[in-house]
Chain A
């Protein structure tokens, strides 16, 4: 991990117009990704994690979706202003994605070889033979036994974990700068999850790929990520180095999330596992308030009036706290 920032998302806003009103799925998200860094994005369903990442490669279904504002700077270029043709050259080549369900993300009618070489031929300009050799090499790296034989098979001849390995091999085959993994292990059974995560960690470290890992699971991010973004109702509520965030969560939502994970290292006291009460809000026509206040134990009067500014804890804390920010009125003087 170096300090070179390859992706800078600034104040990204992605809205969906529906019959009920405008859904502000992503409302002012900013973060940075350094070369080789692994960034985790956690949050509940509907908090805007996936939409943020689809926005990055400009794949929001439009209509009804629309990127209403913000900038996405990839190596200094704004992806949002790029014509469709150029962005296709970035997708799969510089930024690639792994999807949640490996059972449906491979085309059932095409052999693995044609799906993999398709991408390699398109982006790297290799001929079919060379592309196939490269694909076999990638499958071997992804831990698929006898790849030169398996490559001619169809997706339904692979198990879920194997398919996810194929997806990983495919998405890394053009040596991308960034790999976006949208809940890559949610659809797999637990015995495979750890293997897949290890594989991703190992391969991306070897290839120097930066990873954006979207997940529900705090356990996954704790093991994988360098930095963490906690999203709630379309906004990043807390951001910081993984260690700092787990050691000293600042935002009440992050605290609630961490508390609601069962822990083995704390002796069982027979207490019930704590949970965050209530439901996440509907993001249609949300007033200018902290979206978390109805569920927050520490809510104050100001919380229902105005969205809190982001507070940087980097100055007060040690070196791990560098860049640790949270958006909460608890820490803000400007009430």
Chain B
């Protein structure tokens, strides 16, 4: 009885006493996003990546910087590293045997195998399991890929957040103020656009030194340009809307109109744009790391891992494939999510899905 009453207070009722739900535009968009399977899968994958990255330090994995010299270039396997190590070594020796057209191992080789077996028996290090193999310094690829993802995703998010904040701020000021202010801000954007983006970042990294903070600054510095243009365009098309005029006629101040009435209306576009921006940043960070200007060892990012893996891809393909697949999957998920959000937030498609 009591529950029934509470329910009735919550429910919205129209003139005919029919229950109505207060549906905000966001709730509506969420409903449509849920119907889009690809986008929702993307959302799950992205959430999974972010959670795993955040939890990386407390997950039961090896440290990303532990080097075990004996375990270099081990292939992915679920068995203990010692076994895998002996197996790969023996397989290699067999190859040599064949090439030299001999029928059995010589003394030196026998001795080496015996020594390895003895070491495996006593050294607890050999009990380690490298699910995704190791790199050329004997570091766990799983751990390195996770920590690499941590940095890559962080760069993607930090870049996007700065780009969004600065872009919204400058874009909406330019769009709403118009005239000279608009001209000034937009010509500044044009100038920054005109400069080659990668060159600026490379110069900055070279001048201020290779550290992760500088990487953030360098990427954030040039990232807000497109967003500022997009927001400005939106604000210009909205600022003559009647509800803005109505707000002005009610005595609202310009700041209030911009940040309370205009920006929320542009958020749909911004959200879509921002989700599509994250992969962009990850790509440019990868590119920088590939050039050797990104994060420096022992830290890793997906870009630097791919770069290292590419050197040895013929002999040890997993060193390239593991980070490349991890990165591709994330970028795919992010793009699907962005596409799905665009469809969900686009009022044109409102009645389609």
Contacts and interface: CB of A to CB of B under 8 A. Distances in A.
Interface of A: 57, 59, 61, 63, 88-93, 96-97, 99-101, 104-111, 118-119, 122-123, 145-146, 149-150, 152-154, 156-157, 167, 170-171
A120 B84 CA distance: 75
Contacts of B23: 154, 157
Interface in B1-35: 12-15, 20, 22-25
A89 B250 CA distance: 9
Interface residues of B, number: 29
Contacts of A167: 246
29 contacts: A59-B248, A61-B240, A89-B251, A91-B249, A97-B249, A99-B246, A99-B249, A104-B243, A105-B242, A105-B243, A107-B247, A107-B261, A107-B264, A108-B243, A108-B265, A109-B264, A109-B265, A118-B252, A118-B256, A119-B252, A122-B252, A146-B13, A146-B15, A150-B12, A152-B22, A153-B12, A154-B22, A156-B25, A167-B246
Contacts of A105: 242-243, 245-246
B265 A107 contact: yes
Interface in B217-247: 240-243, 245-247
A96 B248 CA distance: 10
A90 B251 contact: yes
Nearest to A146: B13
A17 to B, nearest CB: 14
Contacts of B14: 146
Contacts of A156: 25
B12 A109 contact: no
Contact of B245 (A59, A88, A170): A59
A92 B242 CA distance: 15
Query: Which 5 pairs from chain A and chain B are nearest by CB?
Result: A92-B250, A92-B251, A91-B251, A97-B249, A105-B242
B123 interface: no
B351 interface: no
Contacts of B250: 91-92, 96, 118-119, 122, 170-171
Contacts of B251: 88-93, 119, 122-123
Given A145-B15, A154-B24, A104 B261 contact: no
Contacts of B22: 111, 152-154, 157
B29 to A, nearest CB: 12
Contacts of B253: 88
A152 B242 contact: no
Interface of B: 12-15, 20, 22-25, 179, 240-243, 245-253, 256, 260-261, 264-265, 267
A22 B279 CA distance: 51
Nearest to A116: B250
B257 to A, nearest CB: 10
Given A145-B15, A152-B22, A153-B12, A106 B248 contact: no
Nearest to B15: A145
B248 A110 contact: no
A198 B339 CA distance: 49
B242 A101 contact: yes
Contact of A99 (B13, B242, B260, B264): B242
B243 A96 contact: no
B19 to A, nearest CB: 10
Interface centre among B13, B248, B253 (most CB of A within 10 A): B248
B157 to A, nearest CB: 25
Nearest to B257: A107
Given A57-B249, A107-B247, A122-B250, 5 more contacts: A91-B248, A92-B249, A104-B242, A118-B250, A149-B12
Nearest to B25: A109
A156 B347 CA distance: 12
Contacts of A157: 20, 22-23
A305 to B, nearest CB: 40
